[in-house]
Structure 1
């Protein structure tokens, strides 16, 4: 929507009708108000505060849960009118901190409806009576507001104010509550995993200080120090919610069921050893080059487990769960995504819930020190012929990643290995596009955008870059434009004839492409149809004549200026 559209009443009405037609979601709420008592000011404040504690969104007052527009009773009884500015003031007066919303009075189907645009709040918002709620989805599928439990509220405040929970005091803890063997484990990791060499030879206390987990205060030992290096009793006392469950399933049978509350570095070594037993490996050869195709790349499992351990919310109940079965490797942890991270930005974003814990893992050499862990997971999976990690089961309360371990795509792995051997590494976004085209075949821009959850402008740049090196082929133009793997891909995997065959286009699809072109641009010429469908001149002539004879197109003119349009009506 342009800035002009944003103030156009007709456009505002059309947009509201479209949103209402989509029904209630996490960011859309309907409220009945056929009488003032149906939805008074206190309920208004509670509803907008709840939405602000989620993703924000749009509240429509005067609309039933079903989406039926029934109208909003006037807010000002004396004047018999609703004044948006008074609603905005009422919301600010009844929320803490004051929440600035935008209210509008619309007329839909001849009835007044109030639209309130609610911003997402970085810090928790309460009503003036102290009610804290957040937006979530019911099991039945509809949205609802539920109370914020203390642990969730504490986590939100810490996140909003950039507080690192792991650097808080472990009240009454002393260095005797830390296990020297665990600090020695840290030193060993530094030396063997390529960590921060400076820390390898420091005394115990200096290591703790360097990690930001020890100071000269009344309570020098911090919670993060206990979580990383604490004795069993200390972890149980100061980090009572810490628990990791590791399971291996064979069909419906549980073959491994392991529970641990050991300090984090010990957990890393323990889970790594248990996963190593479960790894299998296929391989491909490129001349003298052998390329391993593990069912679960070590880097992927290491990053996934480390992310769960360092980014989980330790103020929340529940264990970190690690499950391996024939199909997938799944890791879940309590607490939603960290501040400033979303499913859309998860590949690039690096905003740990606890910078101190994440820093300790980086300096030990457990995870990538540049904060590219998720990006490297994608890259390792795609280069080894697997699909992408799937975060779609993630909620406000839990992060879940599902990693495929079966169904290796040997051809795609062969292509990546050969191409990168000759041309250098492919960017992870290039890999995602190529892998999707390999799975989907010829695909439109809109579908690629949806499948990859990628920004359209960035996707166009990626496709243009891949087209320049013949890894992607562009077919058609405008709304009919599609993409498929290019000649360089087929040449690399030794299937050039398949590329040639892929360029032929069926009659039905050609008709659809020509009709789509005519619908977008109003007319289509023979040359434009040939370019859109990749057909020869004679083939295009025969197809256009057939479509005109069938009434699918209307022919105009009879010379070189001939063009075609869609039939009216």
Structure 2
């Protein structure tokens, strides 16, 4: 215990080591800090479901592993086990799981324990195989909602308490009814451009069902409009996952449910679901999925479903055939970013692709060598823009000219402002100011001199430029 002085008042400071689990008082009281009814910080009761949610969030407990003592095997639907057998049959190793009895399948997935005669049912078994009415009884927080809007009119509004495998199939089927495709003829190849990429739909639905917080009220909801698909689920991002590392970090809230969906073949690859969502959306000529509405209580992702940029799709397909390999996710993110902001630094692009600057620089160097982008400037001022050929194929050819013109005009104004402030400027100072090679800085200064803005004074090492009209 220490005493410190703050604004003339003595304040007692007590340091308490971080506990490995939730800790209460000797009288059995549990509290948490939060905002009271008057909006001021206060000690509030820590409720039972909040304790469970906190333990799940820290990885101490998997919700699917919690035993439901009143549940029986009869509460599980045999048709849902048959559904799993059908799902796993095309997947690698699925024939082994499909050959097991219902209870043996549950034990293999870690959601049933005990013997065939006296099985112990865990909540994961109810979530995956439970009868609808039993799910509502034992896990009332589980619900899904599918809504289609046309302007302000609701065209479809469906709520369900189906177990997870059926819920995933039903939501996917309902969503894909609204899928439409554009077609592109590229040489002798006809390319279909979906409104809703199947990979993105499947992965996002599975993520929402598997990673939601089942201690919180609220449905997993899908809302489709003419311009976007929004998928939301209760519970924030799992611990360790943030919007800044979403593409590089995978931390399932329930490993049991995540593994079950993987073994069922609903998700194709553990830990790469979000990356596949981004890849499929960008390849379809649309903007990247948006997670910006995510907060501590909900994960919300919006995927554009409006008209695709077919010029981008044509460019990606043509270059994939030419280079003999598909664009990586990092390359797709760089190209789409440079469409929106044509002059980005390696640091800005590294933040965007969520990779280190060294790894990002490797990607950018490869893209420069392939003629996809250009590098301008040196050192910290180095920036990247799309090449003239790339502009010509996926954007307006005039866009490249505008970018280059704006660069030159900005550099000229920077030089003139510097001279007005400091009286003169040398070639080395101009190169450092504008992040240009020495020869480019020399050309810039001579252009300003030839047009009457600057005057050269001195020779060789003593040469410098001043304003032509003082």
TM-score interval for Structure 1 and Structure 2 normalised by the shorter chain: 0.7 to 0.9
Q: 1:298 aligns with which of 164, 173, 198?
A: 198
* Residue number in structure 1 paired with 2:187: 287
The within-5 A match list for 1:107-122 is none
**Residue 325 (structure 1) aligned with residue 203 (structure 2):** no
CA deviations 1:346-382 (Å, max 9, x no partner) are: 1122211111111111111101233210000000000
Gap change, CA 1:564 and 1:446, over 3 Å in 2: farther
Q: 2:98 aligns with which of 168, 191, 200?
A: 200
* Residue number in structure 2 paired with 1:228: 128
The answer (yes or no) to whether the contact 1:467–1:474 under 8 Å persists in 2 is yes
- 1:561: Cα distance to partner? 5.0
Q: Secondary structure at the match of 2:114?
A: coil
Distance in 1 between residues matched to 2:52 and 2:408, nearest whole Å: 62
The answer (yes or no) to whether the contact 1:248–1:255 under 8 Å persists in 2 is yes
- 1:256: Cα distance to partner? 0.5
CA deviations 1:104-158 (Å, max 9, x no partner) are: xxxxxxxxxxxxxxxxx9865778995643568x9xxx99678454323311113
Structure 2: unaligned runs, 5 residues or longer = none
- 1:191: Cα distance to partner? 2.4
Distance in 2 between residues matched to 1:61 and 1:265, nearest whole Å: 59
Q: Secondary structure at the match of 1:278?
A: coil
Distance in 2 between residues matched to 1:514 and 1:445, nearest whole Å: 24
* Residue number in structure 2 paired with 1:73: 9
The answer (yes or no) to whether the contact 1:487–1:496 under 8 Å persists in 2 is yes
Distance in 1 between residues matched to 2:25 and 2:457, nearest whole Å: 67
Distance in 2 between residues matched to 1:200 and 1:446, nearest whole Å: 49
Distance in 2 between residues matched to 1:436 and 1:72, nearest whole Å: 52
Distance in 2 between residues matched to 1:392 and 1:516, nearest whole Å: 39
The answer (yes or no) to whether the contact 1:525–1:563 under 8 Å persists in 2 is no
CA deviations 1:68-99 (Å, max 9, x no partner) are: xxx352337xxxxxxxxxx3xx122xxxxx24
Q: Secondary structure at the match of 1:133?
A: strand
When normalised by structure 2's length, the TM-score is 0.84
Distance in 2 between residues matched to 1:517 and 1:458, nearest whole Å: 36
- 1:544: Cα distance to partner? 5.5
* Residue number in structure 2 paired with 1:254: 154
- 1:180: Cα distance to partner? 0.6
* Residue number in structure 1 paired with 2:137: 237
**Residue 153 (structure 1) aligned with residue 56 (structure 2):** no
Distance in 2 between residues matched to 1:383 and 1:533, nearest whole Å: 40
- 1:495: Cα distance to partner? 7.9
When normalised by structure 1's length, the TM-score is 0.70
Gap change, CA 1:212 and 1:509, over 3 Å in 2: same
Q: Secondary structure at the match of 1:326?
A: coil
Q: 2:73 aligns with which of 167, 172, 175?
A: 175
Structure 1: unaligned runs, 5 residues or longer = 1-39, 45-59, 63-70, 77-86, 93-97, 100-120
**Residue 345 (structure 1) aligned with residue 248 (structure 2):** no
Distance in 1 between residues matched to 2:110 and 2:466, nearest whole Å: 71
CA deviations 1:410-449 (Å, max 9, x no partner) are: 2222222222223212221121111110222233456545
Q: 1:460 aligns with which of 355, 361, 364?
A: 361
Gap change, CA 1:494 and 1:222, over 3 Å in 2: closer
* Residue number in structure 1 paired with 2:85: 187
Q: 1:473 aligns with which of 374, 386, 407?
A: 374
Gap change, CA 1:503 and 1:301, over 3 Å in 2: same
Distance in 2 between residues matched to 1:517 and 1:309, nearest whole Å: 58
Distance in 2 between residues matched to 1:297 and 1:516, nearest whole Å: 51
The answer (yes or no) to whether the contact 1:478–1:517 under 8 Å persists in 2 is no
Q: 2:448 aligns with which of 534, 539, 543?
A: 543
- 1:490: Cα distance to partner? 4.7
Gap change, CA 1:538 and 1:488, over 3 Å in 2: closer
- 1:548: Cα distance to partner? 6.3
Distance in 1 between residues matched to 2:178 and 2:439, nearest whole Å: 49
Q: 1:436 aligns with which of 316, 337, 344?
A: 337
- 1:169: Cα distance to partner? 0.9
Count, aligned residues? 456
CA deviations 1:6-47 (Å, max 9, x no partner) are: xxxxxxxxxxxxxxxxxxxxxxxxxxxxxxxxxx99xx9xxx
* Residue number in structure 2 paired with 1:91: 15
Distance in 1 between residues matched to 2:348 and 2:391, nearest whole Å: 23
